[in-house]
Amino acid sequence: MERAEYRKGTLPVNTRSLHEVRRDPSATLAAVRPFAVSLVTAALCLAPRTARAEGLEVYPADEQDPSFALEVHGAVVLPFERSAVCPTAGACVLGTGFGAGGYFLGRLPIGLSLLAGYEVWLLDGGGVYEVSAIHSLRVGLRWILEPSARVQPYLQGTLGGLLLTDPAQASTAGGLVTLGAGLEVELTESVALNFCGALDLFSLAAFSTRDGLTRARDFGVNVGLEVQAGVVIQLGASGAR
């Protein structure tokens, strides 16, 4: 007669004789099944504890979703190639100056950010203009190379349109391409400092100034160096950076 014994701390044991098990394959399966079920149950129970013991972290799914951030920055602007706008015969309307702007960023978990924003430069007008104001709307990409680090280096590229004014009356319009690199330095889960150096390449349509000169008559690319410093604020849930 078949009898199963259960003792505390042991697995169920089938007492059918070894001779019977060998003769009947179904008996073999019946004997092995309790051991297999017990092993699978033990593995499922121990796996999460083993992962925590080895320092592995399992992040909630919502932390892997796209997130949004707002950046505000100030800048120093140094145009250095401006021969298309500043002929040698006249004063230059693109002198050194300052800028300010902001970006709205849509961040993806892979470290890529889509950005869109506005920036204004206030440059020395060389006596022709009191202030040369250049307004620009930009869109672009920012690729953070180490998104999980506290100090996050990145590469950035933008393009957009711009408007030169004196200081409120429009003089001319043009296009802009910017290539840059920078660092985001996390202070908290939702706030980071931002530092960026960028090369601005822009072109303007022909326009006349009050000194009687026609500037940017021929197509030419002006080049400037921009150094930015600002703050990035994560919007929404913390920890989504």
**The pLDDT of residue 28:** 52
pLDDT at 173: 93
CA distance 204 to 163: 9
103-199-125 Cα angle (round to 5)? 90
What pLDDT shows up at residue 199?
97
Which residue, 204, 181, 196, 179, is CA-closest to 231? 196
pLDDT tens column, 206-225: 988 888 888 888 888 999 99
Which stretch of DSSP H or E encloses residue 165?
strand 151-165
Rounded CA-CA distance 145/142 in Å is 10
The residue written with tokens 């009356």 in the block is: 169
CB within 8 A of 118, min separation 6: which ones?
A: 101, 102, 135, 136, 137, 138
User: What's the CA gap between 74 and 138, in Å, rounded?
Assistant: 16
Please state the three-class secondary structure of 48-101 as a single string: HHHHHHCCCCCCCHHHHCCEEEEEEEEEEEEEEECCCCCCCCCCCCCCCEEEEE
The pTM of this model reads 0.69
Closest CA to 158 of 180, 140, 171, 133: 140
pLDDT along the chain (241 residues), means of 10: 47 48 52 54 48 39 73 97 82 93 94 96 90 95 92 97 81 94 94 97 90 84 96 75 52
Distance between CA atoms of 183 and 181, rounded to whole angstroms?
A: 7
pLDDT at 2: 45
